[in-house]
Structure formats: C-alpha cells, structure tokens
Structure 1
Amino acid sequence: MRKQGVLLVNLGTPDSPSVSDVRKYLDEFLMDERVIDINPVNRTLLVKGIIVPFRGPKSAKIYKEVWTENGSPLLYYSIRQKEMLQDKLGNKYAVELAMRYQSPSLKTALESLKKLQVESIRVVPMFPQYASASTGSVIQKIMELVSKWQTIPNISFVNSFHDNDGMIEVFAENARKYQPETFDHILFSFHGLPERQLTKADHSGKYCLQTPNCCARLNDVNRFCYSAQSHDTARLIAEKLNLPKEKYTVCFQSRLGNSPWKKPYTIEVLEDLAKKGAKRLLVFSPAFVADCLETNFEISREYHEEFRNWGGEKVQLVESLNDHPKWIEALAGIVLGEPIDRILQPSE
C-alpha cells in the first residue's frame, strides 16, 4: 500500500545568525509579493535597497541572542513536531517538513514525497490563523511547484486551525502553571499585518468599512479574516481559563514600514497598562506553534524591558505549543481531519 504524504510548512529562519545568512533570508521573505503587497518595482527598491542592507546586521544580532546549541528555536521545534507526528501517525504516512523561506525548502520536501510515490499529500501550513502573507503564500508556492509535475497526486490544504480545541487546551495548560488570575492583565499578542491586507480579505467590499469592531466576532463574512480569527483564538483560550473580557486585550506586534497596521499595537498597550499602574502581565503569542524570535526576544526581552522602563515589573511569556504531546495529538487530528482518538483507536 502506498503511503499518504503529509507536509508541514512553517515560515522559515536563517541558516545561521550570520549577517549574510540573515540578509539572504530577509531578501527571500520580504520579496514575496504576498508579504509586501505593493508595486514590484517599489518592493524591490524597498527590500533590496533599504531593508536588507540596513536591517540585516541588526537582525543578525537579535538572531544571535535567540540562537541555541540546537540552532534556531523555530527550526528545532519544527523538526521535533515533524518527528513526533511521524511516530504518532505510523508507517502508513510519510511526514516531511519544509520552510516557506530558506531550508528545508518546499521544493526539496515535495520532491521527497514525489520519490516515495505517495498516494496523496496533506499540506498543513503551521499558522493557526489564515493570512495571505503566510498560509496563502505557502499554498500559492506549492501549487506553482507541483504544477510542473507530470503526474500530480491528490493534494489538500489546511486553511486554518485557529479554533482547534487541542491547540487551545495546550495554550491554556501552558498558562495555568503561571496562575493567570494573579496577573494584573493578560495580552494575546498576535503577529501584525498591514490594514490593507485585512481589507483585501473582505470579499464583500464593505463589511470592514461599515462595521464597527468588525473583527470582534467571527462570522460568515469575515471567516477568512486574520484579525477575526485571532480574536476568536483569544476568546477560546480565555474561555478555557475562565477569564472575563475585561481581564485581557487582543493586540498586534512586529510592524514594518510606515503604512497603518492592525491596531492596537502591543507596545502601546504595554505602555498604557504601565501608566495605569499594572505591574505584572501575562502574554500569549498564539499566532505561532513554536517559539521563535518574536516570542523569545521581542516579547520576553524587548517588551519586558520596555514595560519595566515604564514602571512595570514583569512581562511573562506563555511558551508556545512546541513539542507538547497534546499538541502533537491535535496536529495528527488536523492532518486526519478529525480527533485522532476516533481514527487511530484499535478496530473492534
């Protein structure tokens, strides 16, 4: 019997924290038309003429701060997730890992599945909330690569899993050991996106413009909206922890450029809470399934230091899903299309 192929795809990471490798990574990442969705000429001038030359050395210093003896945290935990998922699914499945940018490449991973002559390929972009710049980019690139194959197996894509109960439970479990009720406030800090990309996702052409707090609740119109899915993820985690709405805030980090990005900005929320007397904050980063530069450095170090400068005492990060066994079970369920205990249980 031929195997079923599974392809896990995360964003990517430099091959090393050297300036040259970081510049190479930034160039491939930011030249993606879905990431910086502006005129191609302007994008080239911005990325190759300004961002990569000047931001490369600064970013390399940050990567050196988060690099471990196992290398990049994102790559390390991605490999662990791939290996653990393979063990969970068994030998009827062939699990491969790829990064949208840099190594291991999508082309290499797909070629490995092709050589195995898998019967089908299930693609899981490892981004809980759908965004054109992440999940959309992965899907587009895979379709471009596979379109050149002489024979194409059945391919299916996971659009998002922002409300997956297993994932929600792991985030909640990771938070419980810090006793969320003892913190002054809780932040759900998601990766930011330009407002124009959120507006483009509104296929009605009017919902975002005419509806106050349009992202606050997920519905049939905004079901593919990154911000609406982010709010829904935060709501579900808060419900697991019995957090009242006034106890937490949904915010967005990691802006790039001068165009408006989704608000409120995490850094501004931190400053406002500090000025109001908050001393201890608990911060989730549920846009990631593995700890990375944005969690281990931006939140745990930069935001913590800024918060203390404004009079606060502690910003505590809730670690990501990483290699938590319950997350691997949830991931297997995502691959198979339903909870794993319904599929892998012994037949009667």
Structure 2
Amino acid sequence: MSSATLARPTTIKDEDFTRKTGVLIVNLGTPDSPSVPDVRRYLRQFLMDERVIDIPYLNRWFLINTIIAPFRAPKSAKVYRQLWRPDGSPLKIYGYSVKEKLQQRLGPGYVVELGMRYQNPSIASALAKLRQECLSDIIVVPFFPQYASASTGSVYKEVMRLVQDWEVLPEIRFVNRFLDHPKFIEGFAQLGRKYMAQHDFDHFVFSYHGIPERQITKGDVTGSFCQFGSCCNQLDHRNQHCYRAQCFETTRLLVKAMNIPEGKYTTCFQSRLGKTPWIKPYTDEIIPELTQKGIRSALAFSPSFVADCLETTIEVGEEYKELFEKNGGTHWQLVESLNDSDIWVEAVQDMVKNPA
C-alpha cells in the first residue's frame, strides 16, 4: 500500500481559518452625469421599479417612457447641474468616503462594498466583488433610516434576485431600519445644535421624503389600524413598519435630543409626484401656513436622508427657502445630512458589529 493511500486528510485548524464578513452598503443612486441622457436613464430605471410606482406594468411603462422621462429629464438635468460637484455627485462621493472609512474601522475581517439601487456602482457589481471573497456571511445596510417598501424593501428584493442562483449562499442579514440608533439621532442633533447656537429659530421643520398613501395602507396587515392620524402618535408592534409612523417617531427622538419645546416643530413630507394622495402634511403647504402664523425663521431637517442629494440641498435647501421667503420668512436654514461624518461611520460600524 502506498504512503499516499495511508496519508491522513489535512485538518484545518481554527487558527488557520480566517472568517470574513462582507458588508454591502446601499444608497438610492444617482445619474452617472448631469447630462440629459444619463438623467433620463436614471429616471427610467428608478421609476420603473414596481415598488416605487406600484401600478400595473403596462401603465407604468407608458407613464414613464412616454411622459415622465422625456419631459422631466431635461428639467431634472438642469437641477442636477446645480448640485454636481467638480468630482461628481455628492451622493456617490459621500458613499465612497463612508465605504473607505468603514473599511478602516472594521479591519481585515470585513470586506466593504458600495452599491446603488439605481445606476452605478450597481448592487450587482458590488455583490460580484463580495462573491469572490469566500465570505462567511454578508450584512446588507440600506442607507434608509426608516423602512419603506419603495426604498429598503426594494433593496431586499434586488439583493435576493441577484443571489438566488449562486451555488453557495452565505448567510445574508439585512438592517431593516435605524431611525432610533443613538448615533444616528445624535449625529443630526449635533448638527442642529450647531445652528441653534448661531440663531434663535422660531420653528423647526422636519421634512421627510413622501410616498403615496396607498403604499401605507397596503402595508397595514391588520387592514384597519392605519388612519393617517393619531395612529402615528406612537410606534408599536402594529405600525412598526409604517413609514409615516417611523418618520414621526424620528422627529420625536430628535426633538427630545435637542430639547425643542412642544409646539415649535412640524413633521411634513416632500417630493410628491402625480395626482394621487401622498402622505401628509405636505411641506410646500406647511411653509405658507407657518409664515401666516408669524414665524420668520426656521431650521429645516431632512432625516430620511443620510447623504446630501437633490432632495436635501436643492429641494429643501433652496426651493423651500425661496418659498419661505416669498411668504414673508426671513431666515431659512437647512441642516446638512450626516454625509461621511465620523459619528455616522461609527453608527454604521455599530450596526454591522451589533445587528439588532
């Protein structure tokens, strides 16, 4: 009998085995450039997502490809040019910065990749890189503080669509939401206190991205709890996944952290599209009401975003400022997003290492 036959199989010792965890951080996405063709391509991919515009496919295709994308792309491209920095889209710039900082903090036992739900770098390209690393598990962190089907839910669906044919599937975990993470709250509170130290504001506006009301009612599994009223006054097991209720809870946590008195703040919703009802109150309708009450200065937050983008810098920072001043206001100040701040990177690190 040969010595090869008698040889015992090699045993991998624990100290020889290096466990690696993949971390996929995901934000919404951005056009590759502010050119009209690139903006049109982005809008088509974004709005054709059935979780974003949840109407039958043919209706959605006709609406987006014959009306929205052709007519909205030139206008949106003009606004994106205002937002664009010499080195590119702020959303992408901050995304890569967070990726690098998070990788440094987590160390060699982790592999961090950035993916965008729409356009580039794509979730597909990020997962392809992670697949080559022989990972034990993957943690997916959608950069959306509050869960919504159109944002976090869409990321879940896309990730699972892409990995369903992998022969070897590592354990995959998702961060569902982080609106109550202490460092997320403190990050925005620190920014708010900075401006509060500079000016005595009459009012505080917390403006969140809106979604159609029908998406809220579809998510109410009880079929009776959601009333778009007092049901959002607290977050419990019945409405824990309701986007609107989560936004109101975010406001309550931020108000408490900054010691803002009751009656001096408003929660509202922006960026509505189309004629169907979206969750209320609408930010652009709230602003004239505030000035009619004699409010002349306001500090505005956008806590549904963690990186500055068109909806924060342009919509809240410039368009709502113009509306506020047009109606008699004198001082409108946008609180920037967490972007690539140390406290935000620390928050993501904590979510990865201590998943709920």
Per the shorter chain, which TM-score range? over 0.9
Q: Counterparts of 1:127 and 1:119 in 2: how far apart (Å)?
A: 25
| Aligned pair partner of 1:193 in 211, 218, 233 | 211
Distance 1:2 1:166 in 2: 28
**Structure 1 residue 310, shift from structure 2 partner:** 0.8
SS in 1 for 2:230: coil
Q: Check if 1:171 corresponds to 2:194.
A: no
1:20 aligns with 2:37: yes
Give the conservation status (yes or no) of the 8 Å contact 2:175–2:355. no
Aligned residue number for residue 10 of structure 2: none
Q: Say whether the 8 Å CA contact 2:201–2:298 is kept in structure 1.
A: yes
> 1:124 — aligned with what?
141
Q: 2:340: which partner in 1?
A: 323
Q: How much has 1:212 moved relative to structure 2?
A: 3.9
Matches within 5 A, 1:199-210: 199-209=217-227
CA distance in 1, matches of 2:106, 2:247: 29
SS in structure 2 at match of 1:214 = helix
Code of the aligned partner of 1:7: L
> What residue number does 1:43 align with?
60
3-state SS of the aligned residue for 1:208? coil
Task: Provide the residue aligned with 2:305 in structure 1.
Answer: 288
What does residue 343 of structure 1 align with?
A: none
Q: 2:80 aligns with which of 63, 66, 82?
A: 63
CA deviation vs aligned residue, 1:153-211 (integer Å, no higher than 9, x gap): 110001111110100001000111111771110011000010000111111010014x8
Match of 1:182 among 170, 177, 200: 200
State the partner residue of 1:104: 121
- Runs of 4+ residues over 2 Å off in structure 1: none
**Residues 159-308 of structure 1: pairs in structure 2 closer than 5 A:** 159-179=176-196, 182-209=200-227, 212-308=229-325
Q: TM-score, normalised by structure 1?
A: 0.95
RMSD: 1.2
Q: Partners of 1:218 and 1:236 in 2: how far apart?
A: 12
Identity %: 54
Q: Highest Rg: 1 or 2?
A: 2
Deviation sequence 1:218-262 (CA, Å, 0-9, x none): 011000011111111111010001112211010000000000000
Shift of 1:150: 1.2
Q: For the residues of structure 2 that align with 1:140 and 1:104, how far apart are their CA atoms?
A: 17
For residues 3 and 294 of structure 1, what CA distance do their matches in structure 2 show? Answer: 36
Partner SS for 1:261? coil
Partner of 1:3: 20
Distance 1:206 1:19 in 2: 44
* Equivalent-residue separation in structure 2 for 1:276 and 1:124 (angstroms): 41
Distance between the aligned counterparts of 1:135 and 1:327, measured in 2?
18
The alignment's TM-score, normalised by the length of structure 2, stands at 0.93
Q: How many residues align?
A: 338
The residue type paired with residue 136 of structure 1 is G
Return the offset for 1:338.
5.7
Q: Describe the SS at the equivalent of 1:97.
A: strand
